[in-house]
Structures are given as structure tokens and as C-alpha cells.
Amino acid sequence: PWQSAPTREVLDKITLPLEEELSTVRGLDGVNSYSSIGRSSVFLRFKQGTDMAVAYREVRDRVQRARALFPEDVDRVFIRKDDASGIPVAVIGLAIDPSLTDSYNLVKREVVEALSRIDGVANVGTDGLEEKEIIIELDRKLAESNGLNIYQLSQSMAGDNFTMASGKVREGDNKFLLRSVASFKSLEELQNLPLTPTVRLKDVAMIRYEEAEKRYMVRVNSRPAVAVVVMKTGDANTMEVSHRIAKELAKFQANPRLNGIQMEELFNQGKAVGEAIQGLVQGGQLGSLLSAIILFVFLRRVRLTLIITLSVPLSLLVALVVMYFANETLNILTLLALVISVGMLVDNAICVAENINEFHVSGLPRREACLRGASEIALAITLATLTSVIVFVPAALVEGEGQFFLIRLALPISVSLLASLLISLVLVPLGVYLTLSPRSSWFKSGRVQALHDRADVWMARAYDATLGRVNRVYVQLLDHALRHRFDMTLILLTVFGLTAFVAVKKLKVIPNQEEDQSGFAISAEASNEYSFEDMKEYFGEIEKVLEKRKSEYGLKGYFMLCRSRFGRVEGWFDREQPDHPPAKEIGKKLLDSLPTRPGIKLFIGRESQTRESKSREVYVMNLEGDEPETLDALADRLEPVILAVRGVIGIRRGNEKSPKELAFVVDRDRAHASDVNPQFIAGVIGYALRGNSLPKYNDHGKEIPVRIRFQESDRESVSDLKGFSVPTTDGRMVPLSGLTEAKMLNSPQGIFRRNKRITRTLTVELASDEAKEARERLMGLQKQVDLPEGVIFGSSFFDTEQKKEMANMMFAVGLSVLFIYLLMGFLFESFLLPLSIIMTIPLAGLGVVWLHLIMRKDLDFLGVVGIILLVGVVVNNGIVLIDYVHRLREAGMERMHALLEAARRRFRPILMTALTTVVGMIPMAVSRPTEIGISYASFGLTLIGGMTAATLLTLLVVPVFYTFFDDLSKFVGAKLVAVVRGSGKLPAPIEDRTPPMTARSAGN
């Protein structure tokens, strides 16, 4: 911070020196900066794999180098790591009774210090709480008549109030530490400070102890407020810190010293995370219940259903134990991984149970059925499980956010799936063995036995009339597809073509669903005629509208900030109220209902120059150039043109409109002739207007800031400023008007630089129903704009990063497919036959694309992570099917009969495993975004669409492509044999006279 400094000065004297020094830090991937009135911010982004501890030390070193070039009154620099801990763990609103005489120290002592002592809290800051200070306001006429100048007086007083360590002194046998003390003991002593032999400070100045002048208003839920922002340490547990803060707030309510302060918790990250976790847990529980119902419909046996369902909590228990010893925490990502696993964990158990049941029905004793059923399916389900686990291997090889998500999902999913495999091969056969025991041991009552038999017969008939009929129709359809496999291939290629050239172009890939935002923002921008009092009055009217519409729109609360020419309203919704309209729609209705005044413009949304917006309902224009004034003028010229485009709701605003700046330009020749140092000129103006900080006044251990400046009547107008006297080096006084020339400048409110080039961002809000068309119109508008020389439309940082991130993720998908293919080739002892199973991966893509389009959802980042998970999951059904075909053919069955028989027998377990996974994801797909803006909809739709399409098409397409690759394998094998025989190295084959097995004998 650099108090009240103009934006251009901040850029030249702070931001540019910082940029130059920080650009030498190793591992940088980009440097952005934002200079605004009174503040400079520089943002560093590092390459993946950079040691951030080393980077932090280097940044701190470069900052210290740059500080040598800063102005003298820039005395603080803050360095922050931007990570998950950068989000406040809690924000507390305080409504303070104006009658409290020392609210600042009361809040600091009773609230801030108490919160700071909480274990896990890193920092507690306050917004809107102004400390009282001793303000010395000089009367300019009295001071000048006594030969006093504010610049020299300020420098002199800075040396009158201090304490200084002065070394050690010995007196006799004792040694003492010596401290020189020249501090004021009372306000009376300060008032009687002699300035000249005949003048004391109180003679030429008024000394007051009061809060600094406030030219802004902050209100929360129609009450004036102060915000207490609590940050946690990086290694602290969010939930634990939030619970400790809640306990401390309860103590505040019982503290009698805080009776004059009303407190309200505006934000609690722990509650937001807890809500997200609760939503995941409830979704997992509902998914588990739906999966159990699906199992019962297929299996028709309560005991068998219970045994398979129990494999889920057992597998999750193993995963939790491993996570505990691996020092993993239960957070949103790890719980998401466990919820994903719920639908997948029953797959292995279903396959084992179904295989055992088939052998038992064929007439084998239950012990032999369990042993043979589990051993024959073991290879297939092991391979299927390994393909689901191996997709996480490429996570260590990609860069970006995808690596973070995949690594955090890897441990819970992998461990739970491997535990499920172990349970399915060991405990499930044991459980099935017990369920196949004689019924007399389970049912003692004949009536109960009769009811059970009747229900079993009824359910068997119901199943045969529904899913049994579907199974038979499927086998007939497969038989037709195998006999007309080229027609089937042509139909499939047509579907792929339509998807690739029509659907994929309509599907947008975005990092997050910004349209699912949990609040709205409306900004107001006023012309120069409006004072702070006018804006307070206008925002009072806005407050009445919000109160009137609060229940109608389900508003839980709202925050209001206004200054002399700018204001902002932000609202958030009651999460308990169902079916409220989207946030953007509510914001648009409120915007239309707010009172209008000449000279005040209203904007929807909040723009951030430092973080680009990411949504299909937002269009971002980046203007790049060398002069911020040129970019601001061009942005003002473009605004009405953009707003006239059909489908545009408004343009976002984040800051005040750029103020007019008055500059006193120093005439160096006259200053030199008058023997005046230009630094004296700047010092006189700065001290007179904004004041100069003097050493703090110590009041019984309490440090009170001291500031000296001219009284308000002496610094209101330009004519007052021109009359200021500037001291010369020989003690004379020269008027400021004789040394400078006043000029009006357009000062930019903020200057954003991306990689050392000035950028001006325009963020346009689009209507949901015609966002695509509006985006195309704006792109056409950009091509028609006549840009000033040196100005271009820059590339979107978001688009560049998105393409890079997507390229990394696609690389991970490709590696996953390669690893799965190699694994299947190794276990199947063939590198051609697994290609038919790999075909299920693009088939899943059909479902992902079309389901997102049907549900009118974009594919967000979590959806892309879901695609990587799909790669390992969708091949499972193909593995189970082809493995059984492989075993039937090894037993002597002809290929066509083996494919039809495998399809008939594997239809039930394949359909069951797919339905349990799909049904388990439904609660996630229809869930609403959490309070902190996390949406699981795209993730759920990805898994549902991918699994549904892959399952339905796997049952038809995989057998067809199996025949193609089998023919190719035979052709290649025959050619190789012919080549080898031609060389004379292979004897002629002995004719096999063994009759081929029939389909019935092979099945038996």
C-alpha cells in the first residue's frame, strides 16, 4: 500500500521496480500486476514442479532489493502464497454502537486478539474499522504569519517524539542499558510544544483525537458493519479451526464488554465445506440404496443382495484405514472419490456371484460351484480392476490442475477397488456358499417357506417377462449384427460422424459452471456531480428495494459498499429454499427494479482485472496497448456498442470510474532559479493534503497514530493549493504557483499488466438462452472495430491456459488408454483382440457429449476428470465379455456360437454392474452447486452418459469388432506361417480329427 498515491505514480515507482526484480526469480511461468490508487499488487505464477519454499525465499529477496527504489513513505510490503488457505476461514460482521468511545481498541483487544490466539489461525484482519488518531490540523494563515512551513515543521516534529536504544553504561559495579527518551507524556505536553520562542503548537493548530475521515459506507443486511476476516495456516484443518472459531464467538456473545457490538457470521468456510461433504455423503447413501434395489431386482434374493451390498462398506473401511495411515484427510476430493467408488465396488462381487450361481444351476454342488465360479472369473475381474486403477498412473506425468485432482482421487479409489477385488474373491464366495445352503436351515416355519417359494416364483416370472425378454431380444439383435457386421459398422461410423461434426462443436469445455453461482453482484457508477452524501441517499433507496424483495427471491443476506462515485451490492441466497431461479436471472430482475437517476449507470456482475471470468455465459475482451488512458477511452467508446448487441445483459464493473487527476507540473528552470528542491514541492503538497505520519504517541502502552496536515478549509480548492509556500534552501518562502503549472489529467483507476504489457479487460454478461449467438455477434463486432495505433485485441489468458490444460489432460487420457491396452495384451496374450475392447472408450464419448447437450450443460473441469475415470471403467464390461468368449472358444466352441452364448450369459452381470454405477451417480448429477461454488453436475453426467452409452453399445459393437480383429489375427497368422513354411523351418501340421464341440456341450 501507498496511501492516496495516484495510479500512474504507483505503477512507475512501485510496480515497475517490483516487476523488474521479480522477473529474475527461477521457475516463473508468468508475471501479472495491478496498480490502483494507493496500492500495487504483483501476481507470480510458477511452473509445475517448482519448489515453492525456494521460490518464496527468492521472492522475498527480490522484494527487499526493490524496496530500495520505493518512495520513503512506502513502509509495508505483504507477500502471500495464493493457495487453498488464501480463502478466509471465516468472515464476521460487527455492528458497532456509535456511542462506544473506543471501539477500535475494544475490538482489537476483545475480538481480534482472542481470535488470533486460536490454534490454526494465521492472521486476523479488519475491514472498515478505523483507528482513532491524533490529528494536528494547521491553520495555514497563522502558520505562515509566524514563519512556519508544514514541510519543515513535519520534519522537525518527527525528531521530537522518539525513543532510541543508546548502548550500555557503567555506574560503579553496575552495568545498565541506556535508552534515550524524547516522547510526549500527555496531550497537553504535545499542545505546548514550542515551535518558536513565542509560538506553541496549540497557537497555530487544532489537535483532535478522533477516527480518520470516512468517505465510504459499508452495510450488511441493512446495518452498518465492520468485517473481521480470519485466515488459517496452510497446514490447519478447516473444520477444526471453524469449530474453534464458533466456540470463541459463543464466548463473545457472553462477554459483557461487547454488549454494544452485534455480531453475525457472514461466511464460515467450515460450514461451506461441511455442506459440500454432507451433500456428497447423502448422494453416496442414496446411490447405495438405489444400487441395492437394482441388485435385488436382478438377483431376486435378499441374502445374496445383502452379501454383495456389504462388500461396499467393507471396501470403504479398508480404504479409510489406508488413508489414515497415509496421513490423508477426509475432504471434498477424497469424499468425492469414495462416493465414485460406491457404484463401482459391487461390480466384482456381482460378477463372482453370478458366475457361481450359473455353475450351481447347471448341477454342480455348491462347494464346487463356488470354487470353480470364483476361479474362472478371477482373471477377468482382476484385469478389470487393474484397468480402473492404472488410469491414475499418468497423473504424475501431466501438469496443471488435472494432476492435483487425479492424485487426490487416486488413493481412495484405487485402494477401495483393490479391497473390493479381494473381498469379491474371498468373502463373496463364502457368503454365496452360505446362501446356497438348504432352506430348512434358514426357514423353520412351513408357512414362511411357502410364502418365500411363492414370492420367488412370482419374481422369476416378472423377471422373465421383462428383463428376461430384453435378454432374448438382445441375443437376437446381436445375432443379426454379427451376420451384417459391415452394415453395423457403417451405422456406427455415421453416429460418430454426427457426434464429431455436429455435437462436439456445440459442447463447450470450461473450468467451472459460473452460471451455477450462488450469488449476484450489481455495481453503480456515478458522474462527477454526485457527492458521497448523494450516493449514500441513492443506496438507501436500493436497500429498501432489497428488503422488499428479500423473501421473494430467497435472499439470505446482502452486502453494500458505496463511495463518492461508485457503489456495489452483492447478495447471496438461502440454500434451504428450493427451486429459486438462477442467480443471474435474479440479478437481472433486481437490476430492472432498482431506481434510476440521471448520471448513474448500473452494471450486473463483478469484474476482476486479475482473474479472468470463465463461463459460456460470459464473453471477455482483452484490449492490449502501451497507454492506459488510450485503453480506457477505447473501452468507454465500446461500451454502448457492446450493450446494443442482442443477447448482452450488461458489462461487469469491479472498481470506481477513473477519477480526474490534478497535476502540478514543476517548472525546473524556475525552481532552480528560486533555489528550491523539487522534493520540497512534492513534500509540501503531500503533507498539506493527505498529511504526514509522525512517530506514534504512547498512552500507557497504547500506541496512537499521529498525523499532521492543513485544516480542511485551507485545502479545499485549487486556489488554496496554489497559495502554499515552499521553502528555499536559504530559508526564504516561495509561493507554489510561481514554481508549478496546474493541469487536469485523466488518471486510470487501475492499470493491469499481463507479462509486462498493459491490458484492459471488458467482461460481458450474456443471456442464458442465446449465449452462443451473442458470443458470435461479439466476435464479429471485434473484427469491425477500428483500433487506435498500438492497440490490439489480445488473446484470452483463460483460453490459452484452458488449451494448455486440456492438452495435458488429453495426453493423460492417451497414456491411460496405452497402459490399459498393454495390460490387456499381456494378460490376453494377444495385441489384436484387446483392440475390440478399447473400442468401448470412444463409444463412451458418444454418451458424454450427447447427454451434456440434452441437459444443456457445459463440460467443466470435473467432467474432464470424469472422462479419465471412464477410460478405466468402461472397458470392464468388454473384458468380462471377451474373457468368457475366449474361454468358450478354448473349450472348442465355434466363434459365432461362443459370442452368442457369452452375450446371453454375461448380459445380466454387465447390465447390473452398469446400472449400479449409473444409478449411484444420479444424485450427484442432479445436485445443486455448493455454497462455495462447486458443481458436481458435469462430473455425474459424464459418468452416467459414458457408462450408459458404453454398456449399450458394448453388448453389440464389441462382439462385432471382435470378429474383425479375430479375422485379422488369423490372416496375419496365416501369412506368417506361410512365410515360415516357405523357408522350410516349420513342419506340415497333423490333421485334427477331433469333432468340434457343440454349443450345448460347451455350455455344459
> How far is Cα 225 from Cα 248, in angstroms, rounded to an integer?
20
Q: Which whole number is the average pLDDT over 524-544?
A: 84
| Closest alpha carbon to 348 in 375, 384, 296, 320 | 384
Q: Which residue has the higher pLDDT, 73 or 597?
A: 597
pLDDT for residue 68: 87
Task: Say if residues 33 and 15 touch (Cβ distance below 8 Å).
Answer: yes
| Closest alpha carbon to 122 in 43, 238, 42 | 238
Long-range CB contacts (< 8 A, 24+ apart) of 670-678? 670/738, 670/739, 671/739, 674/728, 674/734, 674/738, 674/739, 675/728, 675/729, 675/730, 675/732, 676/726, 676/727, 676/728, 676/729, 676/734, 676/739, 677/729
Task: Kindly tell me the burial class for residue 101, based on how many C-beta atoms sit within 10 Å of its own C-beta (0-12, 13-18, 19 or more).
Answer: exposed
Q: Which whole number is the average pLDDT over 984-995?
A: 48
Considering the chain, what percentage of its residues have pLDDT values greater than 70? 78
Q: What is the pLDDT of residues 500-529, one digit of tens each?
A: 777 777 777 665 555 556 677 788 888 777
Q: What is the pLDDT of residues 655-711, one digit of tens each?
A: 545 555 566 677 777 777 777 777 677 777 766 666 677 777 776 666 777 878 777
User: Mutual orientation of helices 446-465 and 467-483 as an angle, nearest 10°?
Assistant: 30
Supply the Cα-derived Rg of the chain in whole angstroms.
37
Q: What amino acid occupies position 267? A: F
> How far is Cα 694 from Cα 462, in angstroms, rounded to an integer?
90
CA 579 to chain centre: 24
Q: Give one DSSP letter per residue of 65-90, joined into a string.
A: HHHTTS-TT---------SGGGS-SE
Considering the chain, what percentage of its residues have pLDDT values greater than 90? 2
> How far is Cα 653 from Cα 647, in angstroms, rounded to an integer?
18
- Residue whose entry in the numeric block shows the C-alpha cell 496498480: 35
Task: Say if residues 620 and 612 touch (Cβ distance below 8 Å).
Answer: yes
* Lowest mean per-residue pLDDT among 108-122, 144-158, 508-522, 558-572: 508-522
The model's confidence at residue 401, banded by pLDDT at 50, 70 and 90, is: low
Q: Which residue has the higher pLDDT, 641 or 703?
A: 641
- Winning range, highest mean pLDDT, from 398-412, 532-546, 744-758: 532-546
Q: Which whole number is the average pLDDT over 394-400?
A: 63
Q: How many Cα atoms sit within 13 Å of 706 on the Cβ side?
A: 23
Q: Give one DSSP letter per residue of 422-452, joined into a string.
A: HHHHHHHHHHHHHHTS-GGGT---HHHHHHH
Q: What is the pLDDT of residues 897-913, one digit of tens each?
A: 988 888 888 887 888 77
| Closest alpha carbon to 83 in 115, 45, 119 | 45
Q: Is the pTM of this model over 0.75?
A: no
- Residue whose entry in the numeric block shows the C-alpha cell 468485517: 227
pLDDT for residue 442: 47
pLDDT for residue 14: 92
Q: What is the pLDDT of residues 861-875, one digit of tens each?
A: 778 778 877 887 888
* Helix, strand or coil, per DSSP, at residue 624: strand
Cell of residue 64, nine digits: 527487499
Q: What amino acid occupies position 919? A: V
Q: Which residue has the higher pLDDT, 459 or 191?
A: 191
pLDDT for residue 717: 65
> How far is Cα 131 from Cα 824, in angstroms, rounded to an integer?
70
> How far is Cα 742 from Cα 723, in angstroms, rounded to an integer?
12
Task: Give residues with Cβ within 8 angstroms of 291, minimum separation 6.
Answer: 309, 312, 342, 343, 346, 915, 916, 919, 920
φ and ψ at residue 597, rounded to 5 degrees: -140, 145
The model's confidence at residue 1003, banded by pLDDT at 50, 70 and 90, is: very low
Q: Which H helix or E strand runs over 949? A: helix 937-982
Average pLDDT, the chain: 76
Q: Does residue 180 carry a pLDDT above 80?
A: no
> How far is Cα 760 from Cα 624, in angstroms, rounded to an integer?
6
Q: What is the pLDDT of residues 314-373, one digit of tens each?
A: 888 888 888 888 877 777 677 777 777 776 777 778 888 878 877 877 778 878 888 888
User: Mutual orientation of helices 875-890 and 366-390 as an angle, nearest 10°?
Assistant: 130
pLDDT for residue 25: 92
Task: Give residues with Cβ within 8 angstroms of 551, minimum separation 6.
Answer: none
Task: Say if residues 204 and 139 touch (Cβ distance below 8 Å).
Answer: yes
φ and ψ at residue 180, rounded to 5 degrees: -90, 125
CA 599-571-577 angle, 5° bins:
140
Q: What amino acid occupies position 30? A: G
The model's confidence at residue 1000, banded by pLDDT at 50, 70 and 90, is: very low
pLDDT for residue 891: 83
Q: What is the pLDDT of residues 18-70, one digit of tens each?
A: 999 999 999 888 888 988 878 899 989 888 678 888 888 999 999 999 998 88
| Closest alpha carbon to 836 in 976, 945, 967, 974 | 967
Q: Which residue has the higher pLDDT, 88 or 513?
A: 88
> How far is Cα 128 from Cα 299, in angstroms, rounded to an integer?
65
Q: How many Cα atoms sit within 13 Å of 484 on the Cβ side?
A: 10
Cell of residue 602, nine digits: 448500473
Q: Which whole number is the average pLDDT over 220-231?
A: 79
- Residue whose entry in the numeric block shows the C-alpha cell 463483478: 606
> How far is Cα 354 from Cα 161, in angstroms, rounded to an integer?
89
Classify 504 in phi/psi space as left (phi over 0), alpha (psi -120 to 50) or beta. alpha
Q: How far is CA 767 from CA 14, 517, 609, 650, in A?
A: 40, 15, 22, 9
The model's confidence at residue 94, banded by pLDDT at 50, 70 and 90, is: confident
Q: Which whole number is the average pLDDT over 179-201?
A: 75
Q: Does residue 925 carry a pLDDT above 50?
A: yes
Q: Does residue 428 carry a pLDDT above 60?
A: yes
Task: Give residues with Cβ within 8 angstroms of 829, minimum separation 6.
Answer: none
The model's confidence at residue 236, banded by pLDDT at 50, 70 and 90, is: confident
Q: Does residue 942 carry a pLDDT above 80?
A: yes
pLDDT for residue 19: 92
pLDDT for residue 518: 62
Q: Does residue 600 carry a pLDDT above 70?
A: yes
* Helix, strand or coil, per DSSP, at residue 401: helix
pLDDT for residue 449: 60
* Helix, strand or coil, per DSSP, at residue 623: strand
